[in-house]
Amino acid sequence: MAKKTKTAYVCSECGTESPRWAGQCTSCGEWNVIKEIHLSQTENRFVPPKSGYAGSHSEVQLLAEVNLSDAERLSTGLQEFDRVLGGGIVLGSVVLIGGAPGAGKSTLLLQVIAHAASRGVSVLYVSGEESLQQIAERARRLQLKTEGIKILAETSVQRICEVSDQEQPDILIIDSIQVMHTSSSESAPGSVSQVRESASYLTQYAKRHNVSIFMVGHVTKDQSLAGPMTLSHIVDAQVVLSSTDDARFRVLRADKNRFGSIGELGFFSMESTGLKEVKNPSAMFLSRSSELSSGSAVTVLWEGTRPLLVEIQALVTESQYGNPRRLAVGFDQNRLAMLLAVLSRHGGIFTASDEIYANVVGGIKVSETSSDLAIVLSVVSSLKNRAIAHDVFCFGELGLNGEIRPVANGHARLNEAAKHGFKRAIIPKANAPKDKIAGLEIFGVKNLAEALQASDNL
């Protein structure tokens, strides 16, 4: 069959395809990033199966009769990693793990397969970036048991699948997907088409042979996963490993998970022997000074399936210029502006001429609204130069009419704070429990005025 060639113009930053070459990408706005690539279509080109799941012949079944025994999970040996994955590794799943250089992606996966191999699970680690000697040196530095760990230095996905057919691994590590290439595309490794085709090839292989595949992915300068957006749709789960403000700690976050909840967080500390689990992440974010200081309030977030205590800090100072600054780190800046407007309208506290800076301590990102009350109280604390006691915490959503709305999992949040020694709580009245919690005094408030009064009285 004659060889056909198709030309495409693809942005190397965001993966957007254009009908013709241009100096600037119309999607991400970057200059000189559109590349011309050639896609070959030959008889040996890998074509994903068009019928059935993973290429097998499909039959109509009743949903109630689907066999769930195949949904077996393997423990990684790290409870925090299992939590993020939804309870462990699902056989036949494909997981994409991304992170900045030096975050610990390869270290984490090497620890996972070392634990799996020690329990008799067949594993294969494929590296396209490091030599076998470098991997062996890292394993020795981490003091891991290397018996049973098979490694391979290869970048061709066809060759990797051939070796996998011979070794029959249960877990296959691809480090990394950006350096892999397939013969079905003539473009350079790392290009949009190569990443897409390689990931598709490996995913179909995982489904047909019931192999769990972990792909390491690179990130761009804005900390998003590099490659085409279709890469996120192809995989079953996408997790990101990042550092906190304290370089000793790492946070593993699930951005997508077909086998568990998204937004789940796992916490680790980076030590000389690798990543160690942080059993009490709330203590990690509550390393407060023993001296009272204004502009600080503690709240309880709900991350994934568990509560997490964090400290919100605010600084209010006189503006030296005509246009006061509003800066929020760790949550939406527009929400800060909205909360200040509610504080002015329903709390009688005006900050229009002041500069306000708000921060979530520890580098964690707040995506829910339960921190509204803590943000407002920390701003008021800084403005009045009146400290909030160390044994006081608060949570609640602030409405535009000044009402304090209840949040989900209120009882679990209260219990978590009580375990850490907090004695007093300012919470929505609707979240106040019917039964008292030992050692915890609860102040239920219905609106912003009641919350400010309760804060002044504590």
Check whether residue 394 and residue 266 sit in a common domain: no
Q: What is the mean pLDDT of residues 315-339?
A: 91
Same domain assignment for residues 312 and 236: no
Cα angle for residues 218, 221, 222 (degrees, 5° grid):
100
Characterize 65-89 residue by residue with b for buried, 16 or more Cβ atoms within 10 angstroms of its Cβ, and e for exposed. Answer: eeeeeeeebbbbbbebbbbbbbebb
Residues 257 and 397 in one domain: no
In a domain, 292, yes or no: yes
Cα separation, 316 vs 326, whole angstroms? 10
pLDDT at 45 over 50: no
The encoded tokens of residue 180 equal 């892999």
Compute the distance between CA of residue 201 and CA of residue 104 in angstroms, rounded to an integer: 26
Whether residue 41 has pLDDT greater than 80: no
Closest among 277, 273, 253 to 264, alpha carbons compared? 253
Report residue 448 as tokens. Answer: 């912003």
Strand order in the sheet with 17-18: 17-18, 4-11, 34-41
Cα–Cα distance for residue pair 171/192, rounded to 1 Å:
26
Confidence of residue 158 (pLDDT cuts 50, 70, 90): very high
CA–CA gap between residue 415 and residue 207 (Å, rounded): 42
Assign residue 312 the CATH number of its domain: 3.30.230.10
First to last CA, the chain: 82
Q: Which residue has the higher pLDDT, 331 or 247?
A: 331
Task: Tell me, yes or no, whether 389 and 300 share the same domain.
Answer: yes
Q: How many degrees, rounded to 5, is the angle at CA 159 between CA 119 and CA 171? A: 20
Is residue 171 in some structural domain? Answer: yes
Per-residue pLDDT of 395-433, as tens digits, reads: 999 999 999 999 999 999 999 999 999 999 999 999 999
pLDDT band, very low/low/confident/very high, at 49 (cuts 50, 70, 90): very low
- Predicted confidence at residue 359, as pLDDT, reads 94
Task: Write down the pLDDT at residue 25.
Answer: 84
**What is the enclosing helix (H) or strand (E) of 99?**
strand 94-99
Residues 85 and 120 in one domain: yes
Which pLDDT does position 137 carry in this prediction? 95
In a domain, 141, yes or no: yes
Are 388 and 266 in the same domain?
no
Order of all β-strands in the sheet with 249-257: 149-153, 123-127, 171-175, 212-217, 94-99, 237-243, 249-257, 265-271, 274-277
250 with 232, same domain: the answer is yes
Q: What is the pLDDT of residue 47?
A: 43
- Model confidence over 70-102: pLDDT tens digits? 567 899 989 999 999 999 999 999 999 999 888
Element (H or E) spanning 215, and its range? strand 212-217
CA distance 180 to 316: 51
Assess whether 270 and 311 both reside in one domain.
no
Query: Is the distance from CB of 253 to CB of 263 less than 8 angstroms?
Result: yes
Beta pairing partners, 307: 302
Residues 260 and 168 grouped into a single domain: yes
Full 3-state SS string of 24-62: ECCCCCCECCEEEEEEEECCCCCCCCCCCHHHCCCCCCC
Bigger pLDDT: 67 vs 319: 319
Tell me what the pLDDT averaged over the chain comes to: 88
Residues 419 and 363 in one domain: yes
Query: Which residue's structure tokens are 């219990």?
Result: 415
pLDDT of 43 reads 37
The domain in which residue 225 lies consists of 73-279
In a domain, 57, yes or no: no
Helix (H, G, I), strand (E, B) or coil at 441: strand
Same-domain pairing of 173 and 311: no
pLDDT at 295 over 90: yes
The verdict on 271 and 302 lying in the same domain is: no
> Does 353 score more than 70 pLDDT?
yes
> Using CA atoms, how far apart are residues 268 and 243, in angstroms rounded to an integer?
10
Please name the helix (run of DSSP H) or strand (run of DSSP E) that holds residue 141, with its range, or none. helix 132-141
- pTM of the full structure: 0.78
Residues 6+ away with beta carbon under 8 Å from 17: 8, 9, 10, 11, 192
Residue 367 CB contacts under 8 Å (≥ 6 apart), including other chains:
263, 331
What's the confidence (pLDDT) of residue 400? 96
Per-residue pLDDT tens for 195-228?
Answer: 989 999 999 999 999 999 999 998 887 777 877 7
How do beta strands 171-175 and 392-394 pair?
A: unpaired
Q: Identify the DSSP state of 442.
A: E
